[in-house]
Amino acid sequence: MAEFELIDAIARRVRRRRDVAVGIGDDAALLNPPPGYQLAITQDTLNESVHFRSGDDPEAIGCKAAAVNLSDLAAMAAEPAWCTLSLALPDADRPWLDAFLDGFTGLLAEHDVALVGGDTTRGPCSISVTLLGLVPEGQGLRRDAGKVGDDLWVTGSLGDAAAGLAGMGSGDQANYLRGRLLRPQPRIAAGLALRRHARACIDVSDGLLADLGHVLRASGVGAELWLSALPASPALQACTEREQRWQLQCAGGDDYELLFSAAPVDRVAIERLVQASGTPVARIGRLVDTPGCLISDPDGQRWQPSDLGYQHFQTT
């Protein structure tokens, strides 16, 4: 398979959008952003042996490469629009490529994203995706907009992906947990529903406490977190004791849920809007004056996890 054949295989699967003036096949793509919108842009890369293993299902790798970027746009309340893909492969393995593209372009198509460019190179398997989205001016959700007194919310359930990574459960439960790890569902609809209601927002990729920490530092506030309110899937509940479950929910990564703050006056609107978007939400705490994060167990006792989430290049 020559490079141009590889590009053709990609180009054939591309969704069309009317705002793409020039797509794949020129030095750069030319796009027509609508007036009155801001551009949201994110780039996330998955590397073999770090983010996935060489034997993993290529369709799931493709799906995840799209999902982690879509999740970043969801957290900004941006509507996905266009993306580029840089694909490094050690050799041109057509069945692998086809399955990868099925997963990648399949999830992008669900969110009406057009693949408009990128490149293909030889190298250790690496997938770098840049995703662009649109958000009406001033309606993007940032990490630094949390205020003392805000409710703290999270979509979906927490800890499933970490449990899936640890190989927990058996049968259908194990499949569910593993599926949450391999095929995360980016919370685009929930993010859009939160425009004009949420204040701070972030996606939970490094783990609840790690990502909450980003919001707290950026917003200059602290938080109270209630373990009894953390949402857990039936599968996670079935295969964990509560201490272990809390650990997974607080420090497990790869959930790709949205963590956000909102004024208490918006409580009813948020439950209505986000649930209308098909996404469960749970109120899990609140933002306070005192710096740091105070975690309470169901008896009102302070609790601390033994591990605080994932960092690349961590030295400790």
Annotated binding site for ATP: 118-119, 143, 205
Question: Which of 63, 67, 128, 249 is close enough to bind a second copy by CB under 8 A?
Answer: 128
Q: Which is nearer to a second copy, 134 or 168 (CB)?
A: 134
In angstroms, the Cα distances linking 125 to 15, 53, 76, 81, 103 are: 24, 10, 29, 26, 16
* Nearest alpha carbon to residue 69 among 85, 57, 49: 85
In the complex, least distance from residue 57 CB atom to a second copy, rounded to whole angstroms: 20
Question: Which of 16, 53, 302, 313 is close enough to bind a second copy by CB under 8 A?
Answer: 313
Site for a second copy contains 85 (CB under 8 A) = yes
Site for a second copy contains 50 (CB under 8 A) = yes
Site for a second copy contains 116 (CB under 8 A) = yes
User: Using CB under 8 A, which residues numbered 156 to 215 contact a second copy?
Assistant: 201-203
How distant is the alpha carbon of residue 115 from its chain centre?
19
Q: Which is nearer to a second copy, 163 or 209 (CB)?
A: 209
State how far the Cα of 185 lies from the Cα of 161, in Å rounded to an integer.
11
Question: Which of 9, 11, 39, 174 is close enough to bind a second copy by CB under 8 A?
Answer: 39
3-class secondary-structure state, position 213: helix
What are the binding residues for Mg(2+)?
27, 42, 44, 72, 119, 203, 206
Q: Which helix (H) or strand (E) holds 5?
A: helix 3-11
Question: Which of 8, 12, 47, 196 is close enough to bind a second copy by CB under 8 A?
Answer: 47
State how far the Cα of 128 lies from the Cα of 95, in Å rounded to an integer.
20
Q: Which is nearer to a second copy, 62 or 169 (CB)?
A: 62
Question: Which of 10, 14, 44, 207 is close enough to bind a second copy by CB under 8 A?
Answer: 44
DSSP string of 115-146, one letter each residue: EEEEEEEESS-EEEEEEEEEEETT----GGG-
Stretch that binds a second copy, among 42-50, 105-113, 170-178, 232-240 (CB under 8 A): 42-50
Site for a second copy contains 117 (CB under 8 A) = yes
Residue with tokens 């940032």: 142
In the complex, least distance from residue 109 CB atom to a second copy, rounded to whole angstroms: 19
Query: Site map for a second copy, 56-75, x if CB under 8 A?
Result: ---------------xxx-x
Contacts of 185 (CB under 8 A, 6+ apart): 67, 256
In angstroms, the Cα distances linking 166 to 47, 99, 159, 246 are: 20, 25, 11, 15
Stretch that binds a second copy, among 58-66, 141-149, 157-165, 299-307 (CB under 8 A): 141-149
